[in-house]
Amino acid sequence: MKIIKEEKGYITSIILLILLIPVLLLMIIIIEEYSEDTNTTIRNIESEKIKTKTEDFENEIITISKETLHNVTLDVITRKKALTNSRTYLKKIIQEKINEKQKKYGAENIIINTEVKQIESSNDPFKIEINYIITSTANNSNIKIRKENKKLIEITDTKYPVYDPLPTLKIGATIKNNQINFQDKLAEYIESENNTAYTNAKTSIIIKKCPYSDYIQHGNNNQTITNCLHNHYYHNSHDGLCLLCRLENKTSCNHYGIETFILPTLEYDKAPASIDHVLLNDNNNQYDGNKIKINNKTILYLDNGHKTKYGL
């Protein structure tokens, strides 16, 4: 009887063991899945952090580019010396500032490496295009983000005003309180009849985009054109120079450019057209315009093309 009881106990132990094996296997599987889920969660958190920091840094690139455009244009008009290659020069300055900024991210355990590939004019003349490759990761991480991207940098951000270098580079105009005073220099520079119409002419040195995007609206009423002239707004122009070519003191360029009015001070029936790239042209391409009286204090001289463009 004792032997039978021992055999029954032995069999019971075996049965219990057999029943426990699946339970143990199931527990192992659950633990492994939990561990994998935990690792996946950690990787997702790490990946999201790197992604967020990369996006933050790309915003830094925009700010750095705006600051650089502000500083470089200010330096050019102050020294009255044109850049030989504005694209290469801006690329170098922006790259140096990006390198400095990357060091601060490194202190936060994020490794970012950005290579500026190109600075170029864009289809919108009030924006500059920057092309770059950015690679980012974290210390002791196998997660890596790499992408080639481009950003359009506005040149009309009031926090980082961009200055028009053309008047100072062409004729050495005097600057005071963000305004250009041509004195006699513009009149002497113009080679057309009635050039004295621009004696003591003034204009703004800061590039500001005209809010009246449908340019023909300028002729709808005197208030619109007066507001535009008072604020010295700039406009899109196929014949005007882009900012990068203005920095190089060129007279013409192959890019979509900008233009602004320069207000005359004397009244004639006809005088050189009141457009900056016409008056500051040094290739004998200055041409006349007919008088347009805006009000008792303001006149313009415009050719037929510009009269049509602005609805005047």
List beta partners, residue 302: 290
Q: Residue 125: what pLDDT?
A: 97
Residue 142's pLDDT band, with cuts at 50, 70 and 90, is confident
Q: Residue 42: what pLDDT?
A: 43
List beta partners, residue 149: 132
Q: Could you tell me if 172 and 295 lie in one domain?
A: yes
Q: Could you tell me if 242 and 222 lie in one domain?
A: yes
Q: Could you tell me if 133 and 191 lie in one domain?
A: no
Handedness of CA 284, 309, 120, 74 (dihedral sign): positive
- The predicted model gives 257-281 an average pLDDT of 95
- The predicted model gives 97-106 an average pLDDT of 89
pLDDT value at 9 more than 60: no
Q: Could you tell me if 128 and 177 lie in one domain?
A: no
Q: Which of 4-18, 21-35, 132-146, 284-298 is modeled with the greatest confidence?
A: 284-298
Q: Could you tell me if 249 and 202 lie in one domain?
A: yes
Q: Could you tell me if 138 and 170 lie in one domain?
A: no
Domains identified in the chain, total number: 2
Residue 41's pLDDT band, with cuts at 50, 70 and 90, is very low
Q: Residue 29: what pLDDT?
A: 59
pLDDT value at 44 more than 60: no
Q: Could you tell me if 276 and 143 lie in one domain?
A: no
pLDDT value at 40 more than 90: no
pLDDT value at 252 more than 60: yes
In a domain, 160, yes or no: no
Instruction: Kindly state the helix (H) or strand (E) to which residue 148 belongs, with its residue range.
Output: strand 144-154
Q: Residue 167: what pLDDT?
A: 95
- Of residues 30 and 287, more confidently modeled: 287
Q: Report the percentage of the chain scoring pLDDT > 90.
A: 63
Instruction: Choose one of 105, 132, 154: the last residue of a domain.
Output: 154
Chain centroid offset of residue 4 CA: 92
Residue type, 258: I
Q: Which of 151-155, 239-243, 251-255, 297-301 has the lowest average pLDDT?
A: 251-255
- Whole-angstrom distance, CA of residue 294 vs CA of residue 103: 56
Q: Residue 21: what pLDDT?
A: 65
Instruction: Choose one of 94, 129, 154: the last residue of a domain.
Output: 154
Q: Which of 12-26, 34-48, 202-216 is modeled with the greatest confidence?
A: 202-216
- Of residues 93 and 138, more confidently modeled: 93
Residue 34's pLDDT band, with cuts at 50, 70 and 90, is very low
- Whole-angstrom distance, CA of residue 149 vs CA of residue 109: 23
Instruction: Choose one of 107, 131, 154: the last residue of a domain.
Output: 154
Q: Residue 39: what pLDDT?
A: 46
- Whole-angstrom distance, CA of residue 212 vs CA of residue 147: 37
pLDDT value at 37 more than 50: no
- The predicted model gives 22-44 an average pLDDT of 52
Q: Residue 38: what pLDDT?
A: 44
**pTM (predicted TM-score):** 0.84
Provide the token pair at 183: 């004195």
Instruction: Please provide the average confidence, as pLDDT, over all residues in the chain.
Output: 87
Question: Range of 72's domain?
Answer: 50-154
Length of the chain: 312
In a domain, 93, yes or no: yes
